[in-house]
Structure 1
């Protein structure tokens, strides 16, 4: 019989070129990743839904913590962990499964060190938000909630490297089942602790901490329990050796993804500076939460195309890598159009405040345009990760988002007095420009050259793990 990991490798590197086969391969990865993303997003979604029925100040405070503080930690750690998408994906494509366990351990070291550095942000959330001109009342509540959520910060640091380890080997259904069970437990605990026992924000934070660490514990037991005999051979001192190259790729990945995620964080901060911040922040947070729902589909294809491109480049199949890109972008865009249908019914799931519901409804058309764009842009970012272009895309993000998008958002929102609508328009212009530039980069890519660089990248940035060449592995 073929071992599960070996079978996954065979599927990943088969180099299929027909449209139905490529769609099937993409959905086999994207489908479970989408469900996993939805389930893990539901942890925050359920928390906001329960807290939103306490009071609008608590809703705004928790929304800012999730969108700004946890968004900072989540984005940075997800980015650091995303180095594994390039290295593990290309190593799997080259038949070098024995390196994956060491790669994951190196990523744990780097991500946990990053989480320690981020502790200061969680501990001083209140003064940080005041410096950003947020409401003192909201900042005080947000500061308390952020300190209670510190265990989630370290949960992210452990979780993301494991996710990439699973994804690179196309073993994503395991994560889906674990995350689905965890969100069920999370919803039940929130109903008991927050709704019935009335423990408020503290109870909501403790339930969130428990849910994330439950996911980590079960995933770790599955890894070390013999389910990955070729990729996991135990803890190794090699994880501490030659960290320099791994850190460089991790930082490049983190900068690329964080610049994208912090873009939306900056929008929430700008909205918090408007008049009636409780209403404005609540409305934008509701739209942002719905946008994240729709992003789950694109993030699934982000992961799928990242794995496919990395696997095919590692296996020296440049034409198959290019074909995967075309199919993934087309499919994600088509699915993204379907998600527009239910956007008008969502606000009442988060709040009973009619002013907040009315303000959120005003953003409906802009939200629709954003959803359409975001069904494509994350897939293009996934291609960049799979091919190892993180540094290039980071510069594109700086120019489009922070030199064009946010300045326009500030002008439209404050100077032209368009409030939250103007801020969202500015954000949208930056996203359009970034998507166009990524398409130009893809159009000009020489895929044969990228395939030749894949093995060299694993060697140079993977550190000192003994790697057989692709020819020897075959």
Structure 2
């Protein structure tokens, strides 16, 4: 009996040690990622807050453009960039360091071409929203706000891909520091341009553009300045080789993320057809942004999930990948529970952080309980998505998102919002229904995945796309 007791105690101590060690690995990636994502998303919310104090029409227009048009375009770019996360993470695990710089250059090329093709969506925002029968004054205000977003979105091409590249090699602490400086600069510029110099909406949008490019230039200095000697060997024409298989993976990645981001954008559009569209759009957008603040933390842990799963699959260790997944899900769920409690306690006061309009603030308060359950779910599904990205299972997740969001969530939201006259609450209940279905499907997919087989698939993919470094070529010539 004593031997069994000692053995059990040893196993328990060993398990605690493994959990602590895995948690350190997770937070080494997750904490800088959380800080950077909160800061980057924060500059968008700060701009919304400054515009909300100018007038309610421009606030609704900003919310519409940011949540629908910008989310549509950035959803494609961020989604396509998740292919870089998969490939860089697996290449780092397999010690194919020079391939990471090649994957990064490929992602820049693919994303820049994609964004240029999508520019008409931003340029012709007003005709598009008029075609969708949005309120005339709001649709007209979207014209110049949408154009101001173009420089911001071009910065996304570089900032997102560089973050995934540095994150895969656990060098994203620099991104966290740059993001904090960026956030500080943005607040100062917004205050200077809007309140001191009285530039109004152009001042708020100008501050957004300047601060977003500050981050990109800082990232360029870090990479080109020699702080990534193993993974960055300079620009190379080899980045053009085997680009079409990367495009294929990028497209499936883009579809996966877009189906998720567009889901929320469509819900905002539905809110635009409510009786008091200005209040509905503003309140719905504020709640989505509050949810997104907490989601940035989960996305940080999602980034860690991508890195940990990709690294372990690249190394060929399926058991380590499975253990990491368990720790990741447990960690993120606990954080979701914490924010769930906070939203329940302070739900009545949240709206006043973003607007002085009493009607909008009351509408936000009415949605606070639903918001609380949304942030609880936010603690689970992003990590499961990260696991899928780390393993390169984007196509399967895209199918899950299509069914859960568009065959379940949207119809329920439309019926409850319009047929039963629950208005914004009905749409939000529909949104939660889709997320619940997605979460359950992702849990089932993760549980059923054969991780030993994923190791074989990862090895095959890396070997197929492997290009020899200059050092290897020189050795062969000798």
- TM-score for the superposition, normalised by structure 1: 0.93
Q: Which residue of 1 aligns with 2:40?
A: 40
The residue number in structure 2 matching 1:221 is 221
| Residues in 2 aligned to 1:365 and 1:156: alpha-carbon distance in whole angstroms | 33
Q: Counterpart in 1 of 2:119?
A: 119
Structure 2 alignment gaps of length 5 or more? 1-15, 473-478
Question: Which deviates further from its counterpart, 88-97 or 204-213?
Answer: 204-213
Aligned length: 453
Superimposed CA distance per residue, residues 25-64 of structure 1 (whole angstroms, 9 cap, x where no aligned partner): 1111111100110000111011001000111111111111
Tell me by how many angstroms 1:468 deviates.
Answer: 12
Instruction: Tell which deviates more after alignment, 144-153 or 227-236.
Output: 144-153
Bigger Cα Rg: 2
Work out whether 1:358 is the aligned partner of 2:368: no
**In 2, Cα distance between equivalents of 1:348 and 1:168:** 39
Aligned to 2:294: 294
Contact 2:101 2:231 in 1 (8 A): yes
**1:431 aligned onto 2:435:** yes
1:459–1:467 CA contact under 8 A, matched in 2: no
Shift of 1:458: 2.5
- Structure 1 residue 463, shift from structure 2 partner: 6.7
Residues 1:404 and 2:414 are matched in the alignment: no
- Of 139-148 and 105-114, deviating more is 139-148
Partner of 1:367: 371
Q: Is the 8 A contact 2:99 2:467 kept in 1?
A: no
Partners in 2 of 1:271 and 1:465 — Cα distance?
53
Q: Give the aligned partner of residue 209 of structure 1.
A: 209
CA distance in 1, matches of 2:463, 2:67: 37
Match of residue 4 from structure 1: none
For 1:387 and 1:83, locate their aligned partners in 2 and report how far apart those are by CA, in whole Å: 10
Decide whether aligned partners of structure 1 residues 20 and 135 sit closer, same or farther in structure 2, where only a CA change above 3 A counts: same
**Cα offset, 1:82, TM superposition:** 1.1
Note the alpha carbon deviations across 1:79-115, whole angstroms, 9 max, x for none. Answer: 1111111101000000110111111000000010011
Structure 2 contact 98–469 (Cα < 8 Å) conserved = no
Counterpart residue number, 1:8: none
Residue 99 of structure 2 is matched in structure 1 by: 99
- The correspondence of residues 130-145 of structure 1 with structure 2, limited to 5 A, is 130-145=130-145
Q: Distance in 2 between matches of 1:445 and 1:423?
A: 33
The Cα of 1:464 is off from its aligned counterpart by 5.0
Partner Cα distance (1:61, 1:392) in 2: 35
The structure 1 segments of at least 4 consecutive aligned residues displaced by more than 2 Å after TM superposition are 462-469
The CA deviation string for residues 175-207 of structure 1, in whole angstroms up to 9 with x for no partner, is 000010011001000001012222111111111
Query: 2:384, 2:442 within 8 Å by CA — same for their partners in 1?
Result: yes
CA contact (8 A) 1:194 1:200 kept: yes
2:89 and 2:168 in contact (8 A); partners too: yes
2:450 maps to which residue? 446
Q: Which residue of 2 aligns with 1:385?
A: 389
Separation in structure 2 between the aligned mates of residue 124 and residue 64 of structure 1, nearest angstrom: 14
| 2:22 counterpart SS class | helix
> Does structure 2 conserve the Cα–Cα contact (< 8 Å) formed by 1:149 and 1:206?
no
- Structure 2: distance between partners of 1:464 and 1:268: 45
Provide the C-alpha distance between the structure 1 equivalents of 2:423 and 2:42, rounded to a whole number of angstroms. 29
What residue number does 2:315 align with?
315
1:169 to partner: Cα distance: 0.4
Note if 1:413 corresponds to 2:417.
yes
Equivalents in 2 of 1:464, 1:152: separation in Å? 34
Contact 1:80 1:254 in 2 (8 A): yes
Partner of 1:169: 169
Q: Residue in 2 aligned with 1:11?
A: none
List per-residue Cα deviations over 1:124-159 (Å, max 9, x = no partner): 100111122211110111121101221112111122
Aligned with 1:352: secondary structure? coil
Are the counterparts in 1 of residues 36 and 175 from structure 2 also a CA contact under 8 Å? yes
Task: Name which of structure 1's ranges 65-74 and 47-56 shifts more when overlaid on structure 2.
Answer: 65-74
- How far apart are the structure 1 equivalents of 2:185 and 2:157? 22
Normalised TM-score (structure 2): 0.92
Matched, 1:455 2:453: no
CA deviations 1:241-286 (Å, max 9, x no partner) are: 2210110111111110111111111110110111111111111111
Name the structure 2 match of 1:13.
Answer: none
Gaps of 5+ in 1: 1-15, 470-474
SS at match of 1:82: helix
User: Closer, same or farther in 2 for the Cα pair 1:64/1:459, shift >3 Å?
Assistant: farther
